[in-house]
Chain A
């Protein structure tokens, strides 16, 4: 399984700079899928690493193009000497949708979502009548956010959307950031490695499930250390569940397909019966 990392963020937030910096630092063969819509062919030129592959993508729905650029690109990577894939999402993409490729395209796994934001424009963008919602989703859905040009900004508003915000100056090595050292998912994996007692199980269901029932299940099983995933309710509304030993939050999400929650626990855990 080849790990997939999604780099999201609005136009001009610094996605390409970050990926390029990383490609300069790494010696590992990495494939980068670049979204090719307007601005982004320029990015494709910027991204330059001789050992790595760069593939261009276009937007659109598979049902009206009969081709799925991301899928086709991933498929073409199979059998190649590639350690990881980075997908640079287009400026208008909601990262969860792209992350779904890591979960659903045969042969690949999802490593995590990194969002990039430009501190000087993020405030205006979050209020924009056309893209405010999209930009908010990009920040909320990410496992971690890299905030560029943040001098003089208060982080409070952004912290309401995402707790894992890293300032440009805190990052000494882009590879560390991109290779998901700070990612929630990575944190889970580290825990799994270091504490053999931790186990994980994935619960999925196509039936509608109440948030309250998930909460109840977590309360009844105090050995659950962490939970993360999406919960889809009767009315078709799905929310993002993030549970740590200190809190259990649901936030709005555009995720649609099914309930899918990862539980990290110690000892034994009887599967939920919803």
Chain B
């Protein structure tokens, strides 16, 4: 008997926003075996439908279908560490399992903590994340003891740069006064560990936070978060932050199955792969990684490199006039080493993703790319600027001529532009962080990412920030750099696919591509742009399989 093709499913919707410029709108899309056969109307699909078994699926008839959303840069392992902790935060955090309300005073903070501790669900060590001095008042060992002296409690600061413990936690972790009395960044009296003291505390905490079952729980929670954000593709933009094998094996065990509604693109972290070797040896190891690929988890010819320090920690490297207080940023490798590393991967034909946060960090990346183009010209090379915190219009112009892509964390504008205006770099530069409007005008392939856990893993949130540029104070920051909703949706679909080198398979809805969809209650291109982030996501479709979401 001849093998019969599987049944065709035709989804109909109020509108299908295809992100394929040749046929931007459709009413129906026919799917077979995880792939799109054709988009159009029920009438125009007849040549297929009249010849093959099919069913019309009307479950999305009152909704809008867009291509499956893509977050091209987040960190599953960071998320896996954070998500099992108990959130008590100054900002509201929407999560699949419930919304963490904003907690804005010391009294409220203590109440929330007491309430959490009264539930029997926590393990041997209770870790809470989100404490912020400005909102929740100074934290100390005695304050925690007065809330609960029996349960070991660790309070992890919003910034990740400090922890505070009660007596029970110090006892559990065997941290004794005599051992730490001379350490200047450990305040034993107050139970506080910061900066280098934090390193000491983390070392004691690691058996708890990186315990296999906790890490697994965290990755399973991330799975819900990714689905909740309407994403069908994510990229782990630096495998091996903590431990390469654990991260890869745990993700493979949890995500490589029929019930997983997304794929993970894996990008090797060159420094991790290099440890103890030359950069050429690191390249050889990275070249072999695709041997470990599976259906949903794939390494390709991509690598992650770094120029300067973190944007949130104010260690981005800035050009003149620098930071208002005169401090300087940090390099993550010497410019000479960076150039040498780029050269090795460039010459082997890799797409190179470069973490750049400040304009001086970006300058190094642009200068280096220019040098590579002089030495060995390449086209469509996929050299991508990751984060894109501060930049100059002239740098964006050069990036365009050199053929680079940009993957921006637009959320910087929302969370940091106000405080960076006042306390870091001044209004002109703070308001134009993530200079995305210019990037689109220069014709650069531009995408948006969350860098989760730096920003919520919700592409519609990233799109909302890029389209509105409204900061947490409610002010519009640099309206000239806003993009249109059409550009915003391009950024989180087809452009994200291009930046990951997957635009031949995903990122738009057209014949031949994978049937990845995100189903929305409203049309993101026609709704009042200020509501984009609140659009209800009804379901995602991953390679033809429907994954419903509870109403948000």
Contact = CB atoms under 8 A, between A and B. Distances in A.
Given A104-B197, A106-B200, A66 B81 contact: yes
B528 interface: no
B196 A101 contact: yes
A72 interface: yes
Given A36-B275, A38-B334, A104-B183, A67 B206 contact: yes
The interface size bin for chain B is 35 or more
A42 B181 CA distance: 37
A58 interface: yes
Nearest to A128: B335
A75 B275 contact: no
Main secondary structure, interface of A, reads: loop
Contact of B336 (A11, A70, A103, A235): A11
Contacts of B202: 62, 66-68
Interface residues of A, number: 54
A120 B482 CA distance: 49
B195 A104 contact: yes
Given A1-B182, A38-B341, A100-B185, A62 B199 contact: yes
A236 B161 CA distance: 17
Given A104-B183, A106-B180, A130-B360, A68 B333 contact: no
Most buried by B among A130, A252, A257: A130
Given A58-B275, A105-B200, A133 B328 contact: yes
Contacts, number: 145
A71 B333 contact: no
B370 interface: no
A10 B313 CA distance: 24
Given A37-B271, A38-B279, A63-B160, A92 B330 contact: yes
B223 to A, nearest CB: 21
Interface string B471-505: 00000000000000000000000000000000000
Contacts of B210: 66
A105 B341 CA distance: 33
B331 A66 contact: no
B81 A59 contact: no
B335 A106 contact: no
Contacts of B313: 61, 63
A204 interface: yes
Contacts of A91: 334, 337
B289 interface: no
Interface string A45-79: 00000000000101111111111101110010000
Interface in B304-360: 309-310, 313, 317, 325-328, 330-337, 340-341, 360
Interface string B61-72: 000000000000
Given A11-B336, A105-B183, A131-B334, A254 B275 contact: no
Contact of A63 (B185, B198, B330): B198
B364 interface: yes
B277 interface: yes
A237 interface: yes
B496 to A, nearest CB: 23
A104 B186 contact: yes
Contact of A68 (B194, B196, B274, B276): B196
21 contacts: A10-B334, A38-B274, A41-B277, A58-B271, A59-B333, A60-B271, A61-B310, A62-B202, A64-B78, A64-B310, A66-B242, A67-B203, A67-B242, A92-B332, A100-B185, A104-B197, A105-B196, A106-B182, A133-B328, A254-B328, A258-B184
Interface of B: 78, 81, 159-161, 179-186, 194-200, 202-203, 206, 209-210, 241-242, 271, 274-279, 309-310, 313, 317, 325-328, 330-337, 340-341, 360, 363-364
Instruction: Identify the 9 closest CB pairs spanning chains A and B, nearest first.
Output: A68-B199, A38-B337, A71-B199, A63-B160, A104-B196, A104-B185, A92-B331, A106-B180, A62-B199
